[in-house]
Structure 1
Amino acid sequence: MRADKHQKKRKKRWPSILLLFILLIGAGVGYAYYQYKQGINQSLKDINTGNKDTNVVYDFKGQKDQYGDTNVLLLGSDARGNEKSRADTIMILHYNEDKKTFKLTSIMRDSYVAIPGHAKHKINSAFARGGPELMRQTIKQNFDIDLQYYAIVNFQGFVKLIDEVFPNGVEINVEKEMSAYVDTPLKPGLQRLNGAQMLSYVRFRHDAIGDFGRVQRQQKAIKAIREQLSGFQTIAKLPKLIGVVTPYINTNMATTDGLFMAKEFLSSDQGNIETLRIPIDNSFTEPRISGEGDVLDIDVEKNKEALHQFISK
């Protein structure tokens, strides 16, 4: 009889535990959504609603690549007034779900390549000519890699995110003085940079190595941000952080997918993120072409092979 009573108590207890579990999940989801909306509302108070890149709805026919990986096309736009935007920054974030690894490829904007339907031009002009879809087609045609998602980053959003996540700044060793053609000049040395200073750091290119140095700094900054963001406390803040940057980003990625990838990016224990630059060393010349100016005339086959080796290893 006692055993029967004990068994009946256990049977009664399970529905209560299950109900409590469901309520906890519901409360967690509700809190995450509340934080997400708080982040959006915080940014909407001072966002530049006239920025056309965040308001345009783009057609994008992306898919996973032939290795089964997810590739995100990251574009930083240099929109100025009513001018057509060119891609100031072109990156591909590679995510392997099985290995839970991230890799980052930077494509230099002056790479002189064939743009579908437009002959050969600097690759950054593909965005101005046909948005992220033409950029996707250009990368696919030249490097034989598919891109599933795109994200066009408003630089104002980059500043906002840095200031929100790093109230004391991001620790970076600024390798030289950076004052030419930047809104916020920088002095050399190890220091903590706020959002405006970080934007100057990743955009500066007016020195002897030009865009090559800028690409190095962009990759260095992303590594530093990832390392200094990692941790449970940051992951707990992700819904609000996603909300903060959402008004500044135009993307075809669902919010839930963005949260998942952000969590994986920050919680991955695979060590330092690997990076690649296209063009690779000894694979290009630097001629001046009428109507284009100085370009990087790249060996497409050599760079395509390097990219595929980088992704698949």
Structure 2
Amino acid sequence: MKKRNRTKNKWKRNLFLLISLLIIVIFYCVYQYNKGLSEASDGMYKNDGTMFDPFQGKEPQFGEINILLIGSDARGDEQARSDALMIAHYNQKSHSLKIASIMRDTYVDIPNHGKQKMNAAFAFGGPELVRQTIKQNFDVDINYYAVVDFNGFSKIVDIIAPDGIEVEIPYEMSYGIGMTLHPGKQILHGKELLGYVRFRQDRLSDFGRVERQQEALSKIKEQAASMQSVVNLPKILGVADPYIDTNVDIGTIFAIGKGLIAGKSKQMESLRIPIKDSYVNERVNVGSVLKIDYEKNKQALKAFLSQDNERPTSQEKKNRVVSLSDFIALVR
């Protein structure tokens, strides 16, 4: 009887400690999130889901998700063209992250708008029209989207990487970025890194800018996979909130963050569309464009997003179709 009482009391103490710890964690997260909000300015995306048409992306299946990443330099109510366009692919089984960039001058069919540059889709119809355009031209399904106002990029970088990001600058960069970046190996903080990824007078034209964007994102990912960033995640979300419009829920964000920690040693793979030797430069009624071989680029993009993934059998597919809630549970 006494042994049973001791066991019962021990169980109660452990439960009390667990609940106390949970309360502390919740208060810490709320405090850090609000602290992040206080450090952020009044970003244009402070009210998620109010600026764009409803996003019709499919729910993820087999533990794989595609997130449309759009960098926007819109100011006020102005609906600008996308300044950066990427597909982030996350695999919950391998904890791998891949990035595919679609160049803004890629000549594509935009539903109900005819032939246009890829970056025009965002101006015409927001993330949903970009999703439809990618599906129509490359037969790739997008599950979620995140539109990032570049004004908040520097703040987010400074929290994730307080010691800066090291890059190799090939030549002086100054035109149009409000600063001068000198050649050589440099440690860049938020504002400088933003200038580095947005510099447009590249000797390799927009190809060089896309390469720098992918480089910066890869290095930010490495920093974000550290334990320090996990501790700072609530604050990062608070800072980022006014600058990001997204339909990715908090549970999925935390689940992916946990997965990236588990796979932090994996190098982020990247792809650029159009791929090499699959396009020609032409001038058409909408300006200078990259006229692409659609089939070659469609197959390259689909292969890149699916490579290294085990293809399930028909029976496995029946068993493995998961809802959003099931997916979150899987990656936790």
TM-score (norm 1): 0.91
Relative distance call for 1:244 and 1:54 in structure 2 (3 A) is farther
| Shift of residue 172, structure 1, vs aligned partner | 1.3
Aligned match for 2:281, one of 280, 286, 289? 286
Check whether the contact 1:54–1:152 (CA below 8 A) recurs between aligned residues. Answer: no
Letter of the aligned partner of 2:92 in structure 1?
E
Unaligned residue ranges in structure 2 (runs of 5+): 308-332
| Shift of residue 66, structure 1, vs aligned partner | 6.6
Letter of the aligned partner of 1:204 in structure 2?
F
CA RMSD of aligned residues (A): 2.2
Check whether the contact 1:242–1:259 (CA below 8 A) recurs between aligned residues. Answer: no
Q: How does 1:154-173 map to 2 (within 5 A)?
A: 154-173=149-168
| Shift of residue 208, structure 1, vs aligned partner | 2.6
2:114 corresponds to 1:119: yes
Relative distance call for 1:22 and 1:208 in structure 2 (3 A) is same
Q: Which moved more, 1:126-135 or 1:60-69?
A: 60-69
Distance 1:101 1:63 in 2: 21
Distance 1:242 1:164 in 2: 10
Unaligned residue ranges in structure 1 (runs of 5+): none
Letter of the aligned partner of 2:292 in structure 1?
I
> Could you say which residue in structure 2 is the equivalent of 1:220?
215
Q: Which moved more, 1:117-126 or 1:204-213?
A: 204-213
2:198 corresponds to 1:208: no
TM-score (norm 2): 0.86
Distance 1:289 1:197 in 2: 35
Q: How does 1:16-55 map to 2 (within 5 A)?
A: 16-43=13-40, 46-48=41-43
Q: Report Cα offsets for 1:229-272 as digits up to 9, x if no partner.
A: 43212211111111111111111112232233234334423511
Distance 1:140 1:50 in 2: 26
Distance 1:266 1:218 in 2: 22
Letter of the aligned partner of 2:16 in structure 1?
L
Q: Report Cα offsets for 1:289-310 as digits up to 9, x if no partner.
A: 02x1110011111111011111
Distance 1:52 1:100 in 2: 30
| Shift of residue 49, structure 1, vs aligned partner | 5.2
Aligned match for 1:13, one of 3, 10, 14? 10
Check whether the contact 1:64–1:71 (CA below 8 A) recurs between aligned residues. Answer: no
| Shift of residue 99, structure 1, vs aligned partner | 1.6
Q: How does 1:125-274 map to 2 (within 5 A)?
A: 125-274=120-269
Distance 1:181 1:53 in 2: 30
Distance 1:274 1:170 in 2: 19
| Shift of residue 82, structure 1, vs aligned partner | 5.5
> Could you say which residue in structure 2 is the equivalent of 1:301?
295
- DSSP-derived class of the 1:295 partner: strand
Q: Report Cα offsets for 1:162-182 as digits up to 9, x if no partner.
A: 223333321111122112222
Distance 2:44 2:59 in 1: 32
Number of equivalenced pairs: 307
Relative distance call for 1:69 and 1:230 in structure 2 (3 A) is closer
Relative distance call for 1:48 and 1:54 in structure 2 (3 A) is farther
| Shift of residue 100, structure 1, vs aligned partner | 1.4
Q: Report Cα offsets for 1:17-64 as digits up to 9, x if no partner.
A: 122212212221221122112211221xx3355999996244101124
Distance 2:227 2:257 in 1: 13
- DSSP-derived class of the 2:68 partner: strand
Distance 2:128 2:52 in 1: 11
Aligned match for 2:99, one of 99, 104, 107? 104
Letter of the aligned partner of 1:258 in structure 2?
I
Distance 2:100 2:271 in 1: 5
Q: How does 1:56-71 map to 2 (within 5 A)?
A: 56-64=51-59, 68-71=63-66
